[in-house]
Amino acid sequence: MNEIKGVLATVKYDKEYMDRMITAFAPSPVYCFDQKDEEGIRSVFEKVDVAVLDADLNDLILKAPNLRWIHCNHAGLTKSARPVVFERGIILTGAAGRSAPSLSEHVFFFALAHIYDAVRLFEAQREHNWSRFSRQFAASKGLSSKTIGIIGLGNTGRAVALRAKAFQMRVLGYDRANFAEIPDGVDEFYAKEKGDDISHLLSDSDFLVLSCHLSDETYHMIGKAQLEAMKPSACLINIARGSLVDENALYDALKNNVIARAGSDVFEEEPLPASSPLWDLPNMFITPHATPRVASIQGNALSILIENIGHYRNNEPMKNRLTERDVYTK
């Protein structure tokens, strides 16, 4: 069994959840500080071997000499998955999955807005005139006739698959890992570990959803060639990280109708600069990296942490553990 010597905590849970976290770590002491309190954090360097962080890992915390496990209380640990973490043998985990229900709903906000052509619907309403739009609207086909391809079958990707089946969609899934069992809701599964690539998803999907990690391996995984391999009627949806997509190539593809539309909650630079040409594309849906929160986000995050406390003490595989393949250095 792994003994926990002490815990540095910079998370900002409400008191109820802080108390539950401290109880879960007991009898190990938990030292709570704001992540900007450098003096306080330095004072416990020699006492802690676990850190539970509210924000990304920074240089100061990495100076703690005895760290064996770092848990970041959010998803998308691009800035925390540093080579030095893995070189030192430190376990790195995150809270991926705490917002999966809302993130998966965000996918269908984009998908339904595309199917219903929400922009032109609003324009017609504003003009008090359906005549130039009603015939085309009536001829459109619903989601039940469509295929959705999901790249990244973690918590959010799996939640998207289940909701897609509720719409009676055909679901294609791709992940770098070859799962022992195909995730629920996925009709066809492809894996990098099996030697598969994303070609089937590109050519067959009416909606291509990105819900995977950003790493050196996935940087600009969607570029000019991939966009040209998609259906002209397809919609690209990115709810993961902006740098999965080459935004210059995306702009060109949308401007020239290589694909029909894109919806993105994330961009390479955030907030998206006012000078970005993506703002003015009529076939681009943009949201401000602000998916509405699930009602129990703190409880969901704490449940992941508590589960991992048990796994760590029992030397079992950790949930949401990152590896060297998740390093991002771009």
Digit-coded pLDDT (tens) for 149-177: 999 999 999 999 999 999 999 999 999 99
Q: Catalytic pick from 38, 270, 316, 324?
A: 270
**Predicted pLDDT at 140:** 76
Choice among 74, 176, 200, 289 that is catalytic: 289
DSSP state letter for 230 = S
Q: Which strands form 284-286's sheet, in the order they lie side by side?
A: 188-191, 170-175, 147-151, 207-210, 235-238, 261-264, 284-286
Distances (CA, A) of 90 to 11, 86, 120, 196, 280: 19, 6, 52, 31, 45
- In sign, the C-alpha dihedral spanning 218, 226, 74, 287 is positive
The span from the CA of 300 to the CA of 284, in Å, is 32
Q: Is 325 a catalytic residue?
A: no
Question: Could you confirm whether 71 is annotated as catalytic?
Answer: no
Amino acid type, 214:
L
pLDDT of residue 75: 87
How far apart are the C-alpha atoms of 190 and 192, rounded to whole Å? 7
Segment (H or E) for 299: helix 297-313
CATH fold of the domain at 100-286 = Rossmann fold (3.40.50)
Measured in whole angstroms, the distance separating CA 279 from the mean position of its chain's CA atoms is 22
Top-level CATH class of 7-98+296-326? alpha beta
Verify cis geometry, omega within 30 degrees of 0, for the bond prior to 271. yes
pTM to 2 decimal places = 0.93
Angle, CA 245 vertex, CA 239 and CA 249 arms, to 5°: 135
For this structure, is 126 an active site residue?
Answer: no
The residues, any chain, with a CB within 8 Å of residue 191's CB and separated by 6 or more, are 174, 175, 176, 177, 178, 179
Beta bridge partners of 171: 148
Split the chain (330 residues) into runs of 10 and give each run's mean pLDDT: 96 96 98 96 98 96 97 93 97 95 96 92 89 72 95 97 98 97 97 97 98 96 98 98 98 98 97 97 96 86 97 97 94
Cα angle at 50 between 48 and 52, to 5 degrees?
120
Catalytic residue among 82, 98, 213, 241: 241
pLDDT at residue 132 in the model: 73
**Cα–Cα separations (whole angstroms), residue 320 to 112, 139, 186:** 30, 44, 21
Residue 124: the pLDDT is: 87
- Compute the half-sphere exposure of residue 198: CA atoms within 13 Å on the CB side of its CA: 23
The residues of the chain that CATH labels 3.40.50.720 are 7-98+296-326, 100-286
In this prediction, residue 294 carries a pLDDT of 81
In this predicted structure, what is the pLDDT of residue 71?
98
* φ/ψ (deg, to 5) at 7: -125, 125
